[in-house]
Amino acid sequence: MDLTMLGLNKKPKIEAIEFVLKQQDGKVWEDIGLGTNELTEEDKAYIKNIGSFGTPFDIINE
């Protein structure tokens, strides 16, 4: 996936696709998580700070 649109100059390989059930303020919804082993803890914290993605990012095939 190409994370440059989110402000990270990285293109980590997707290792897993996970389906998750999320809850917030009494609302429940299903979401998708993309797992990778190539991001640092700082990268993960940065992405979590952005929140749910209003900004799309590219999933690429290289």
- What is the average pLDDT across 38-62? 79
Please write the tens of the pLDDT for every residue from 4-43: 888 899 999 999 998 888 888 999 988 888 889 999 999 9
Pick from 33, 44, 55: nearest CA to 10 = 44
Mean pLDDT within 50-58: 68
Report whether 40 contacts 20 (CB < 8 A). Answer: no
d(CA 36, CA 31): 17
Q: What angle do CA 40, 13, 54 make, to 5 degrees?
A: 75
Higher confidence at residue 4 or residue 54?
Answer: 4
**DSSP summary character for residue 10:** -
Q: What is the mean pLDDT of residues 43-55?
A: 79
